[in-house]
Amino acid sequence: MGKIHIPGVIKAVKKVRGGVKVAHHKNTAGLEVVRMPEPKQVILPMQQHIGAPCTPTVKVGDTVKVGQVIGDSDKFVSAPIHASVSGTVTAIGNVKLPGGAMVQGVTIESDGLMEMYEGIKAPHVETKEDFIKAIRDSGLVGLGGAGFPTHVKLRVPLESHIDTLVINAAECEPYITVDYRECIENSWDIYSGIRTMMEFLEIPNVVIAVEDNKPDAFRILEQIVDGDSSANGAIKIMQLESRYPQGAEKMMVQSATGRQIPPGKLPSDVGCMVMNVTSIAFISRYLKTGKPLVSRSLTVDGMAIAEPKNVRVPIGTSISDIIEFCGGFKADPVKIIAGGPMMGAAITSIDHPLSKSNNAILAFSKEDAKVFTETDCIRCGKCATACPMSLVPTRIVRNTKAKDAEALLKDGVMVCMECGSCAYSCPAKKPLVQHMRLAKAVIREAGAK
Amino acid sequence: MTLNNKLVVSASPHDRSHKTVRSIMLDVIIAMVPALIASVVFFGPRALLVECVSVGTCVIAEFISRVVMKRSQTIGDLSAVITGLLLAFNLPVNIPLWMVMIGAVVSIVVVKQFFGGIGQNFVNPAIAGRIVLLASFPVAMSTWTAPLTWSAQNLDGLTSASPLADIHTMVSAGTTPDASLLEMLIGWRAGCLGETCAIAIILGGIYLIARKVISPTIPLIYIGTVAVIMLIAGKGNLEFVAYELLGGGLMLGAVFMATDYTTSPITFKGKIIFAVGCGVITSLIRLFGNLPEGVSYSIIIMNILVPLIENITLPKPFGTPKKSKKEAKAK
């Protein structure tokens, strides 16, 4: 703990091991978030989060308004889904997610009015229980890309006492600048969100983590924190070296507190909670207005996009509509990615709808889509040096080929977060992340037997 | 829909570093250029001839073995060029060319390709080639030529003793070797082609470290270990230590051969053990063995131990509790 009590700005308590220096490509950093006009139709998949899928609560022909619940689940790990435009439900059927999985989806034909649902009002929050319930009702999931239902994260087990809230504004993925824009444009929302969290969850310390390639965001947040004497030094800003993957949850906790989350454990097991900066800002807005998560900002960039932008888009808008709003393609796209270039998924079609956790659409042309041929491993060990989790990918690859689940467990492949640092640094261009996923599948299969 | 059929789909990450196997190998070749120039300066055009024959044979041997084995062609990764250069660097200037070819074929075909090609050889191919030559043709492999005698009419030059042999008698007999320390540093001494000029090798090493091709761990610890042992053996005689460090193939071995990716440990702790082992074995052979030189043998012995070293030095996955080992034992 120790160092956290030093007032003002802090440095990382413990430096993160490994990682890679990636080209930032923050081309859109100077572009204010613009609101995209509502699309003609949206498709809302019933699974936009980690956990149980929702079941539609509307039927074909129903008239819905913005913010109305259209899908919900009685399972704990889930988040309700709200209509993002007003209009008529025209279809309920299977839609394909960018990952390839098929889930139920609700199609809404927009009436162009964007009428708000009458039931929307600021939630009445007095206790911690009220607060967590309100967050569930808001449909919030981690907006940084993971898509974990936020209310589940907030409901920490009674025995673990959270002493530090880490606000993740690192945004270590190249290209993406929406979290940065949130810091610049909605810094007060972020701050009031932090105060709310501190109040309702009784968290004594807050660390806002920003990478040092975003001095503007850093300065603005610093001014706000310094300007509030009532915070009494409980809120610190931590400047991190710009190095991928600083923004990963385990890395964040280590940088802010020096604690390491053991394999298979959560931040709450070491007394921490990590929240994305945009999620925090959303919480504060929701508590004021009661408007659930029906739209989100994302970065649209890449050499194939005519007018790269940061846009605020109703959830469920098709990716092709978003690209059209950004001027369409100026070059033939070779690869389109939902998310950042390090951890995002290459999509097979631009007909996919935008989901809650999707923070970027990147369309690469021939110039920036990197397609390499794989060569033989030379055992250079760059993968092992780059791994922030201290794994040795060369061994994992070998044990995966041998389908040796026991050895793979020993190699610790389950702590792999698929950040891609190993594959990034591999001179033989091995698809190492794919190997890591295969390794996990080998372990799961062995467990199933 | 036509667009969708054209999209490339692959596993993340979608950005990759610019380094490729070929670019790394090219960096190593660039790092070897100073030593190559030094070899030609000190030992004349025949040095270049030996180097060309060695590199040429290695590349052709690699090409033919890949064709015969019906495997994808790998000469483009330039690793065969490095093996050829390293082998030549470990040979005396007047070695018959057919012996060079034998060494090159052994390195590439037997040591590298028989085991699966790049990344699969269990010992350093160039060192193995040199050792085979040393065992087969001991006289040709230890007939040294004095430097800068190639410009004399007699192209064979003058034969000279390897200074390292002199050095070993230095402490006991109280004699001084022929070459001064400064001459040792610039490479004005008899020896293998690429090993004499310490400055050129150090330059290459600095380049490799700056380009992040190698980490300084192995060279520094290897040389450091030899220095410490020689300091003790020489009873504190610093001049003796300096001669030992600059003599023989220590610099060449520590910078270019012990750092070979395939045959050195991946783990940081493993690199330390490997380098200390190399240093200890080199010193023991030099001090107590019949051979004046121990670099090749020490590296090859440690090469063979690499899998074992790696197994015991694996890093613990992030967040593994420190006590777990004791607890496991207690159970």
pLDDT for B165-209, tens place per residue?
666 665 555 556 667 888 888 888 888 899 989 999 999 999 999
pLDDT (tens digit, 9 = 90+) per residue, B66-122?
999 999 999 999 999 999 999 999 999 989 999 999 999 999 999 999 999 999 999
Q: B330 lies in a domain?
A: no
- B85 is written with which tokens? 């250069």
Residue B145: band (very low, low, confident or very high) from pLDDT cuts 50, 70, 90: confident
pLDDT of residue B5: 66
Closest by Cβ to B316, choosing from A371, A390, A427: A390
Q: Compute CA A320 distance to the chain's CA centroid, rounded to the nearest angstrom.
A: 21
Report if residue B200 sits inside a domain.
yes
Could you give the number of structural domains in chain A?
Answer: 2
A96 CB within 8 Å of a chain B CB: no
All residues of chain A having their beta carbon less than 8 Å from the beta carbon of residue B317 are 263, 389-391, 411-412, 415
Report the CATH number at residue A167. 3.40.50.11540
CB contact under 8 A, A437 and B11: yes
Do the chains contact at A376 and B14, CB–CB below 8 Å? no
Q: Which two tokens stand for residue B266?
A: 């991946």
Quote the pLDDT of residue B131: 93
What confidence score (pLDDT) does residue B1 get?
44
Indicate whether A424 belongs to any domain: yes
Average pLDDT over residues A245-259: 90
The pLDDT value given to residue B236: 84
Domain boundary (A252, A274, A289) is at: A289
pLDDT for A5: 41
Final residue of a structural domain among A289, A319, A353? A289
One-letter amino acid of A371: V
C-beta atoms of B12 and A426 within 8 A = no
A378/B119 touch (CB, cutoff 8 Å), yes or no: yes
- Structurally, how many domains does chain B consist of? 1
Give tens-digit pLDDT for A64-83: 999 999 999 999 999 999 99
- Find the CATH number of the domain harbouring B208: 1.10.3430
Nearest to A20 by CA among A246, A266, A309, A254: A246
Indicate whether B111 belongs to any domain.
Answer: yes
Mean pLDDT of chain B: 87
Q: Which residues of B touch A333 (CB under 8 A)?
A: 3, 6-7
Would B7 be classed as within a structural domain?
no
State the pTM of this model. Answer: 0.89
Specify the higher pLDDT residue, B151 or B148.
Answer: B148
Contacts of B79 in chain A (CB under 8 A): 378
Which residues 98-157 on chain A approach chain B with CB closer than 8 angstroms? none
Q: Grade residue A4 by pLDDT with cuts at 50, 70 and 90.
A: very low
Q: What confidence tier does A10 reach under pLDDT thresholds 50, 70, 90?
A: confident
pLDDT on residue A449: 63
Q: Is residue B237 domain-resident?
A: yes
pLDDT at B157 over 50: no
**B297-328 pLDDT, tens digit each:** 999 999 999 999 999 999 999 988 876 555 55
- Cα of B281 to nearest chain A Cα, Å: 24
Q: Which of A242, A274, A289 is the last residue of a domain?
A: A289
Closest chain B residue to the Cα of A24, Cα to Cα: B15
- To the nearest whole angstrom, how far is the Cα of B101 from the nearest Cα of chain A? 25
| For residue B252, pLDDT beyond 90 | yes
The residue segments making up the domain with residue B105 are 21-312
CB within 8 Å of chain B, chain A residues 322-341: 332-337, 341
Q: Which of residues 163-192 of A touch B (CB under 8 A)?
A: 174
Which residues of A, range 196-255, sit inside 8 Å of B by Cβ? 250
**Residue A308: is its pLDDT beyond 70?**
yes
CB pairs under 8 A between A and B: 162
Domain presence at residue B9: no
Which chain A residues are within 8 Å of B117, Cβ to Cβ?
376
Average pLDDT rounded to a whole number, residues B54-64: 97
pLDDT in tens, A374-405: 999 999 999 999 999 999 999 999 999 999 99
**Containing domain of residue A433, as a range?**
382-448
Please state the rounded mean pLDDT for residues B255-282.
95
B320/A347 touch (CB, cutoff 8 Å), yes or no: no
In a mutagenesis test of the A interface, which of B4, B5, B17 is the best target, namely the one with the most A β-carbons within 10 Å?
B17
Chain B residue with minimal CA distance to A379?
B262
User: What are the chain A neighbours of B266 within 8 Å (beta carbons)?
Assistant: 379, 381, 384, 392, 394
Tell me which of A21, A305, A378 to substitute to probe the interface with B (most B C-beta atoms closer than 10 Å): A378
- The more confidently predicted of residues B107 and B145 is B107
Give A419 to chain B, closest Cα distance, Å.
8
* Residues on chain B touching A174 (C-beta within 8 angstroms): 15
Question: Residue A442: its pLDDT value, please?
Answer: 94
A298 part of a folded domain: no
Question: Which range is most confident: A209-223, A235-249, A319-333?
Answer: A319-333
- Domain for residue B1, yes or no? no
Q: Which residue in A375, A382, A388 is closest to B318 by CB distance?
A: A388
Whether residue B13 lies inside any domain: the answer is no
Is the per-residue pLDDT at A367 higher than 50? Answer: yes
Residues of B in contact with A377 (CB under 8 A): 119
State the average pLDDT over residues A347-356.
90
The answer to whether residues A276 and A167 belong to one domain is yes
> If DSSP states are collapsed to H, E and C, what string results for chain B?
CHHHHHCCCCCCCCCCCCCCHHHHHHHHHHHHHHHHHHHHHHHCHHHHHHHHHHHHHHHHHHHHHHHHCCCCCCHHHCHHHHHHHHHHHCCCCCCCHHHHHHHHHHHHHHHHHHHCCCCCCCCCHHHHHHHHHHHHCHHHHCCEECCCCCCCCCCCCCEECCHHHHHHHHHHHCCCCCCCHHHHHHCCCCCCCCCCCHHHHHHHHHHHHHCCCCCCHHHHHHHHHHHHHHHHHCCCCHHHHHHHHHCCCHHHHHHHHCCCCCCCCCCHHHHHHHHHHHHHHHHHHHHHCCCCCCHHHHHHHHHHHHHHHHHHCCCCCCCCCCCHHHHHHHC
| Cβ separation B24–A376 shorter than 8 A | no
Nearest to B15 among A341, A391, A394 (CB): A341
N residues, chain A: 449
Is residue A252 situated within a structural domain?
A: yes
Give me A5's structure tokens: 């009590």
**Residues A411, A279 share a domain:** no
Q: Do B12 and A384 touch (CB under 8 A)?
A: no
Look at residue A101 in the predicted model and tell me its pLDDT: 82
ipTM confidence: 0.87
